[in-house]
């Protein structure tokens, strides 16, 4: 129950739980005359927009190696890296009161209240720029029938090396209509002034929000797994974790690429064309020279992939099953292994 407005802060650092809070507030709260600000931070994770392609946006192999979570949010916009050095702000209002620029100006006022010398300006794209060139905040939003939310990041002390390496896709030959992220130069506020910690900035933003909306300057700590406070929220978090949501909601795309294998001191070209719909392989055409690998083996590989998930785990399982049906020929087996390793590298 909200009287005139509310400032919430999550005690969880789990990306799926915090995104579920956004869904829950959007779906269940009456925001008429009762705006809500939600403050949250996540352990290392990459968050893609609703209409984005994770293979196109990030380094999935590196993320698996480092144990970085991947999440797809319900709002549009580009891909962002979250860690404990990044603050997430979600402004909830009615659809009529929705105003991204007003929210960003509020954040700028809060930053200047702590450090008046900071040169931070909102842009037409609803980013925040530090010193006219470094992006410290990106924006995304969701507008429902009656309610809306605008959320943005604020780079305070994020691991920039991780950010740049994770948000760089190694995948070649992707053709997609998915929303593509726009790269930008970034900088942490802590690099500008070491007193600008996440805690200091969250308190400043809460104070500015309270003053602007004439509400009590009190941050309520919430547990996103509390079903008594948010009935049904855990099922929302569970859905956000599923393969069907994270990967299966990717707009249809295709991969058209090739790679070389060394055979008898010459390079042979292997061509690969794959169509992926709902995260599953719809068309697969892997072409190897006939004299290198029998055509029936490639045909078997192509037909086996149809309908399977476009992911290295499922691909590896299928390859292992097919491996047992391969001719008992050491040379063929050797070529098969080379081919399969290359294919797994594509996924």
Q: Is the model's pLDDT at 178 over the cut of 60? A: yes
Q: Is the model's pLDDT at 321 over the cut of 90? A: no
CATH code for the structural domain at 6-247: 3.30.930.10
Spatial neighbors of 21 by CB under 8 A, at least 6 apart, are 8, 10, 38, 40, 222, 224, 230, 233
Q: Is the model's pLDDT at 3 over the cut of 90? A: no
Task: Give the whole-angstrom CA distance, residue 116 versus residue 45.
Answer: 32
Residue 290 confidence (pLDDT): 80
8 Å CB contact between 40 and 261: no
Residue 325 confidence (pLDDT): 67
Which sequence spans correspond to the domains of the chain? 6-247, 253-346
Q: Is the model's pLDDT at 1 over the cut of 60? A: no
The CA angle 323-328-334, to the nearest 5 degrees, is: 65
**6-10 and 219-222: which strand pairing?**
parallel
Higher pLDDT, 164 or 266: 164
Q: Using 50, 70 and 90 to split pLDDT, how confident is the model at 327? A: low
Higher pLDDT, 172 or 112: 112
Average pLDDT for residues 137-161, to the nearest whole number?
96
Q: Which residue has the tokens 């650092």?
A: 13
Q: Is the model's pLDDT at 275 over the cut of 80? A: yes
Task: Quick: pLDDT tens for 28-70.
Answer: 999 998 999 999 999 999 999 999 999 999 999 999 999 999 9
CATH code for the structural domain at 253-346: 3.30.390.50
Residue 146: how many CA atoms within 13 Å on its side-chain side?
A: 9
Predicted model pTM: 0.92
Secondary structure letter of residue 347 according to DSSP: -
Task: Quick: pLDDT tens for 68-114.
Answer: 999 999 999 999 999 999 999 999 999 999 999 999 999 999 999 99
Task: Quick: pLDDT tens for 246-266.
Answer: 999 999 999 999 988 877 777
Q: Using 50, 70 and 90 to split pLDDT, how confident is the model at 339? A: confident
Task: Quick: pLDDT tens for 181-228.
Answer: 998 999 999 999 999 999 999 999 999 999 999 999 999 999 999 999
Taking the CA atoms of 157, 161, 164 and 167 in sequence, report the sign of the dihedral they define.
Answer: negative
Of 2-11, 127-136, 295-304, the range with the highest mean pLDDT is 127-136
Read off the tokens for 182: 């726009």
């Amino acid at each position: 129950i909200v009287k005139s407005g509310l400032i919430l802060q999550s005690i969880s650092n789990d990306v799926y739980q915090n995104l579920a809070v956004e869904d829950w507030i959007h779906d269940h709260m009456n925001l008429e005359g009762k705006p809500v600000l939600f403050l949250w931070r996540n352990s290392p994770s990459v968050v893609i927009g609703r209409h984005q392609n994770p293979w196109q946006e990030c380094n999935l192999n590196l993320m698996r190696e480092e144990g970085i979570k991947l999440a797809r949010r319900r709002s549009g916009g580009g891909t962002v890296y979250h860690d404990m050095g990044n603050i997430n702000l979600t402004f909830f209002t009615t659809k009529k009161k929705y105003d991204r620029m007003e929210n960003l100006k509020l954040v700028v006022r809060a930053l200047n209240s702590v450090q008046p010398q900071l040169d931070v300006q909102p842009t037409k794209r609803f980013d925040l720029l530090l010193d006219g060139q470094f992006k410290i905040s990106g924006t995304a939003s969701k507008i429902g029938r009656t309610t809306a939310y605008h959320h943005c990041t604020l780079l305070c002390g994020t691991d920039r090396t991780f950010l740049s390496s994770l948000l760089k896709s190694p995948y070649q030959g992707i053709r997609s209509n998915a929303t593509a992220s726009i790269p930008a130069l970034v900088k942490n506020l802590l690099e500008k002034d070491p007193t600008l910690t996440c805690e200091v900035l969250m308190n400043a933003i809460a104070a500015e929000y309270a003053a602007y909306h004439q509400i009590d300057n009190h941050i309520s700590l919430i547990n996103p797994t509390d079903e008594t406070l948010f009935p049904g929220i855990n099922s929302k978090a569970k859905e956000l974790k599923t393969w069907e949501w994270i990967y299966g909601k990717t707009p249809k795309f295709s991969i058209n690429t090739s790679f070389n294998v060394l055979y008898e001191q010459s390079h042979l070209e292997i061509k690969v064309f794959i169509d992926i719909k709902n995260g599953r392989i719809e068309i697969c055409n892997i072409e190897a020279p006939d004299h290198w690998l029998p055509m029936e083996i490639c045909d078997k590989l192509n037909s086996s992939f149809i309908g399977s998930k476009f992911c290295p785990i499922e691909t590896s399982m299928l390859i292992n099953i097919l491996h047992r049906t391969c001719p008992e020929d050491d040379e063929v087996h050797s070529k098969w292994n080379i081919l399969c390793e290359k294919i797994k590298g594509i996924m």
